[in-house]
Amino acid sequence: MNNSTLISTVFRKEVLAMAAYKVANAQGYIKLDAMENPYSWPEEIQNQWLEHLKDCQLNRYPDPEAVQLVNTIRAINQLPEQFDILLGNGSDEIIQLLLMALPQGASVLAPVPGFVMYKQISDCLGLNYISVPVLADGFDLDLPAMLSAIAKAQPLLIFLAYPNNPTSNLFSADAMHQVIKAAPGLVVVDEAYAPFANASFIDQLGQYDNLLIMRTVSKLGLAGLRLGYVMGQPALIEQLNKIRLPYNINCLTQMTADFALVNRAFFTEQTEKICAQRAYVFNELQQMEGILPYPSAANFILFKVPHNKATDIFLAIKQQGVLIKNMAGQGGLLSDCLRVTIGKPDENKAFLSALRHGLAELNL
Ligand SMILES: *Cc1c(COP(=O)(O)O)cnc(C)c1O
């Protein structure tokens, strides 16, 4: 058997058709491409954490239920006892668990532009992924289009990112309620950017049996740990728990996340700085000729540039040592868009200055 026959025999057609999720090499760049918190920990906190880690027994399997961490997460989210929590190796793993649990060929629905992993994993599993475009003006849900797609395709899972990535807006809560009511299956409200948003559907868990709220510690400032969680009815969590790998949250993550969340006051400070810088960057972008920034409830800003210039501008900024995200490849509403993560004040200044220089260089 030759190699290409081997590959095409062994791997499912869905896998063969996929492209790997590519992450740009950021070495040497000011990194404003991945919605990371730019700040490290206060030294005193860091030392306390290292002291804690000494108690980690690396020769033993971690607590499969991560009881202590789950209790901390319950407390900080003020999640009532009647709901359960499931932890994942990043919320990416929770998206995967949810999709793996669906019947073969089931439909999955989400607004587009949206978070790419929903589609990536659905495609891999051979599910029927349906994208419903958001409104071009303001990126809110197109409610009639959503409701008609729901009626037609009967999706068993709907993802609503709140705020949405990469458009950074909060969908109208009323439209979200109508989608949740119309859904024949589960609705996952993905609150990855909750630390920056001042809005949540957690309080609605009691209203809807089919609602799940998903969160992550990544955007808060722990992207390197890989920890996400989903909250909802115990009967739903129980099913997901069956397909979770028993030790999916390693002991270093359990201990570190628990420590960080218990001491989270410093995150609040960092988040406030990021939100203040978000207002500053937005203002600066708004004053640049030809640039249209969109209002953001997250830690990044999506902005529109002159037609067909997104890639040139992205490269000109990169040339000056600043890495942001080029959205042009995703087409549609994003074809003239770039996305910048809010960094430290000096990083944001470097980005703004690189953008100004880039625009001048390109005679824009
Ligand atoms: C970043 C992001 C995630 C993934 O978070 P991890 O916990 O790091 O896997 C999920 N959903 C949205 C909308 C995101 O932007």
Look at residues 227, 262, 297 and tell me which one is the last residue of a structural domain. Answer: 262
Which residue from 268, 273, 291 is spatially nearest to 351, judged by alpha carbons? 291
| DSSP-based three-state secondary structure for 278 | helix
Amino acid identity of 23? V
Q: Which atom belonging to ligand 1 lies closest to the Cα atom of 223?
A: 8
For the Cβ of 114 lying below 6 angstroms from any atom of ligand 1, the answer is no
Same domain, 101 and 63: yes
CATH no. for residue 256? Answer: 3.40.640.10
Same domain, 278 and 146: no
Alpha helix stretches (DSSP H) within the chain? 3-10, 13-17, 43-53, 67-76, 91-100, 116-124, 143-153, 173-182, 194-197, 234-243, 251-262, 265-286, 310-319, 345-361
What DSSP character marks residue 60? S
Query: What is the 363 CA–ligand 1 centroid distance (Å)?
Result: 36
| DSSP-based three-state secondary structure for 337 | strand
| Mutation pick for ligand 1 pocket among 73, 118, 216, 226 (CB with most ligand atoms within 8 Å) | 216
Look at residues 262, 283, 315 and tell me which one is the last residue of a structural domain. Answer: 262
- Full residue range of the structural domain in which residue 343 is found: 3-42+266-361
204 located within any domain: yes
Q: Ligand 1, atom 2: nearest CA belongs to which residue?
A: 192
Query: What is the 194 CA–ligand 1 centroid distance (Å)?
Result: 11
Give residues with Cβ within 8 angstroms of 43, minimum separation 6.
none
Q: How far apart are CA 18 and CA 25, in angstroms?
A: 21
What's the domain count of the chain?
2
Q: In the structure encoding, which two tokens stand for residue 219, read together?
A: 């955007």
pLDDT in tens, the chain (364 residues): 788 899 999 999 999 999 888 888 999 999 999 999 999 999 999 999 999 999 999 999 999 999 999 999 999 999 999 999 999 999 999 999 999 999 999 999 999 999 999 999 999 999 999 999 999 999 999 999 999 999 999 999 999 999 999 999 999 999 999 999 999 999 999 999 999 999 999 999 999 999 999 999 999 999 999 999 999 999 999 999 999 999 999 999 999 999 999 999 999 999 999 999 999 999 999 999 999 999 999 999 999 999 999 999 999 999 999 999 999 999 999 999 999 999 999 999 999 999 999 999 999 9
Which pTM does this prediction carry?
0.97
Give residues with Cβ within 8 angstroms of 236, minimum separation 6.
186, 212
Give residues with Cβ within 8 angstroms of 262, minimum separation 6.
72
Q: Which atom belonging to ligand 1 lies closest to the Cα atom of 298?
A: 15
- DSSP code string of 177-237: HHHHHH-SSEEEEE-TTHHHHS--SGGGGGG-TTEEEEEESIIIIITTT--EEEEE-HHHH
Same domain, 96 and 202: yes
CATH no. for residue 13? Answer: 3.90.1150.10
Same domain, 71 and 219: yes
